[in-house]
Amino acid sequence: MKTTKLVMLVMTIAVGLFILIPNLSWAADDGASLYKTKCSACHGADATGKPAAKIPSLVSDDAKKLSDDDFAKKISDTPKHPGTVKSTTPDQAKLIVTYVRSLQK
């Protein structure tokens, strides 16, 4: 009888971990890591851009004036923007905007 309860407990824990572990990997999708993988190659680690290559600064006064929604749309919707090629979803764009806003301070 004790063995059956122990087996059931272990199985319950195992099922719980199988459900929980994928959710933990999705939680790693934060603004900083998304920015690093999708944006920093062009805009730089500090988001200052590369004026010589006509890559805009994301910490400029113009970028600061954009609303969060407009900024996120520029990231995910603009056809010429390389971020769209890397399949940036609207939710990911919002996370990136939040991170860039932290750099603007």
DSSP element (H, E) containing 61: helix 61-65
Q: Which residues of 81-100 are buried (b: 16+ CB within 10 A; e: fewer)?
A: eebeeeebeeebbbbbbbbb
- pLDDT of 73-90, one tens digit each? 888 876 667 655 457 888
**Structural domains of the chain ordered from first start:** 29-104 (1.10.760.10)
Residues 54, 42 contacting (CB under 8 angstroms): no
CA distance 12 to 21: 14
Token output for 20: 């929980």
- Give the chain's mean pLDDT: 82
State the pLDDT at residue 29. Answer: 65
What is residue 37's predicted lDDT score, i.e. its pLDDT?
A: 85
